[in-house]
């Protein structure tokens, strides 16, 4: 292979936290800013400006952000929520915690995004919300879905946990529906280590979300609280928000790095028959958070990469395999993605040498995949 074996593991995601993040945390602590306070408000202002929305609220993680959105629309037991079969399980868990019923819909055959044709067939009089997922920065058909929602009086909540700063022709994903939710976890473009974000363009929804985040408190006078709606303690804190302030200063640099990594893999892997990159439309504004491929003999490839100290992450199971109410039902496209999907080492701070080593390793591994085990390179 012409490359020295790596003595250290190359992680599937790499982002660095350093002296600037430490400095910001120190400044907050010395100023007495530890719980939810001025640092949280400042980061919310920056994120609202970054996404060009009037209202943004930080919370403890992306899963909580989704739960807050559902609470804002008073989703209750028996309501039906349409969710793509291919997504992180939190997309289904949040409605289930409220007693709602999940209706799974398959994804498109060309890209792993909610299939609007099947959404139309899944709608009933009990349908109260649709949660399209902008998986890995790819833009679901949000404009058509939002019009469909308006037609049937159904709320649309964008799960943009993996799509911060990703765009379509109408602007930033997560900002084109009733409510958008994001994750600021450690494997995201801008991280607060743990954190989530809720955005909306509607002032009434924003005020309601603030109350929900604060345990359902609608008014407080002389430390006496009035509780008017269902809520919980979803509050964020100034310590973690300090990390976000440092991260957001590097947003442009991180965005460029992710695009460069995607294009590097695209150029390096195009001749391999056992791997096919799952398309992200960078030229249209989409931002690939990580690099995803379909991979023949995925488990064998994962083991061969690990022998070379390379960590690749298989796709999560399709929801139909995790939810007992949907076992036995077939969702052809999403199950194919779940079976063959693989995330290659990504993240804004992966070194060029390590990325070259990954590509060289994948080329060498290709010689171990039997002839005839190939993927069509259709676009």
CA–CA dist 271, 265 (Å, integer): 11
Residue 306 has a pLDDT of: 96
| CATH number (domain holding residue 292) | 3.90.1150.10
Q: What pLDDT does residue 370 have?
A: 76
pLDDT < 70 stretches in the chain: 1-3, 219-225, 371-374, 376-379
pLDDT value of residue 330: 87
What's residue 223's pLDDT?
59
Question: From CA 43, how far away is CA 222, in angstroms rounded?
Answer: 28
Looking at the fold, whether 233 and 255 belong to one and the same domain comes out as no
- The domain boundary, picked from 248, 265, 297, lies at 248
Q: Which of 193, 226, 248 corresponds to the end of one domain? A: 248
| CA-closest candidate to residue 219, choices 231, 227, 208, 210 | 227
250, with CB counted inside 10 A (0-12, 13-18, 19+), is middle
The residue length of the chain stands at 379
Asked if 192 and 244 touch (Cβ cutoff 8 Å), the reply is yes
Query: In angstroms, rounded to a whole number, what is the distance separating the alpha carbons of residues 106 and 95?
Result: 18
Residue-level pLDDT at 220: 67
Q: Which long-range contacts (CB under 8 A, 24 or more apart) does 43-48 make?
A: 43/192, 43/241, 43/244, 43/245, 43/248, 46/245, 46/248, 47/190, 47/197, 47/199, 47/244, 47/248, 48/199
What does the pLDDT read at residue 374?
66
Give the count of beta carbons closer than 10 Å to the beta carbon of residue 60.
21
Q: Are residues 214 and 276 in the same domain?
A: no
Residue 119 falls inside a structural domain: yes
For residue 1, the model assigns a pLDDT of: 45
Residue 374 counted as domain residue: no
Final residue in a domain of this structure, among 201, 221, 248? 248
Residue 373 belongs to some domain of the structure: no
Instruction: Write out the residue range of the structural domain in which residue 79 sits.
Output: 19-248
End-to-end CA distance of the chain: 30
The CATH number of residue 212's host domain is 3.40.640.10
Domain shared by 226 and 323, yes or no: no
Total count of domains within the chain: 2
């Amino acid at each position: 292979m012409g490359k020295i074996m790596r003595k250290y593991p190359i992680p599937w995601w790499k982002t660095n936290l350093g002296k600037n993040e430490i400095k910001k945390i120190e400044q907050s602590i010395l100023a007495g800013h530890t719980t939810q306070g001025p640092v949280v408000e400042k980061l919310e202002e920056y994120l609202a400006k970054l996404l060009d929305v009037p209202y943004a609220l930080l919370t403890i993680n992306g899963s909580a952000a989704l739960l807050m959105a559902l609470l804002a629309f008073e989703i209750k037991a028996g309501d039906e929520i349409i969710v793509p079969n291919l997504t992180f399980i939190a997309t289904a868990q949040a409605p289930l915690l409220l007693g709602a019923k999940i209706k799974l819909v398959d994804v498109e055959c060309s890209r792993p995004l909610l299939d609007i044709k099947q959404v139309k067939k899944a709608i009933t009089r009990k349908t109260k919300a649709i949660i399209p997922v902008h998986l890995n920065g790819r833009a679901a058909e949000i404009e058509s879905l939002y019009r469909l929602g308006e037609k049937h009086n159904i709320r649309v909540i964008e799960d943009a946990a993996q799509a911060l700063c990703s765009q379509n022709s109408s602007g930033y994903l997560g900002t084109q529906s009733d409510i958008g939710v994001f994750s600021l976890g450690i494997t995201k473009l801008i991280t607060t280590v743990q954190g989530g974000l809720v955005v909306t363009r509607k002032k009434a929804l924003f005020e309601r979300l603030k109350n929900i985040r604060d345990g359902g408190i609608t008014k407080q006078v002389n430390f006496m609280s009035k509780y008017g709606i269902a809520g919980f303690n979803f509050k964020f804190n100034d310590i973690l928000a300090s990390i976000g302030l440092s991260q957001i200063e590097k947003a442009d640099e991180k965005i460029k790095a992710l695009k460069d990594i995607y294009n590097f893999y695209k150029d390096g892997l195009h001749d391999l028959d056992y791997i096919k990159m799952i398309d992200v439309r960078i030229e249209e504004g989409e931002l690939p958070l990580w690099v995803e491929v379909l991979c023949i003999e995925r488990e064998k490839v994962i083991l061969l990469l690990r022998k070379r100290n390379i960590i690749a992450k298989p796709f999560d199971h399709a929801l139909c395999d995790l939810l007992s109410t949907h076992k036995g039902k077939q969702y052809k496209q999403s199950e194919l993605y779940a079976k063959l999907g693989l995330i290659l080492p990504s993240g804004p701070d992966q070194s060029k040498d390590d990325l070259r080593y990954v590509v060289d390793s994948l080329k060498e591994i290709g010689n171990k995949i039997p002839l005839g085990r190939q993927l069509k390179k259709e676009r």
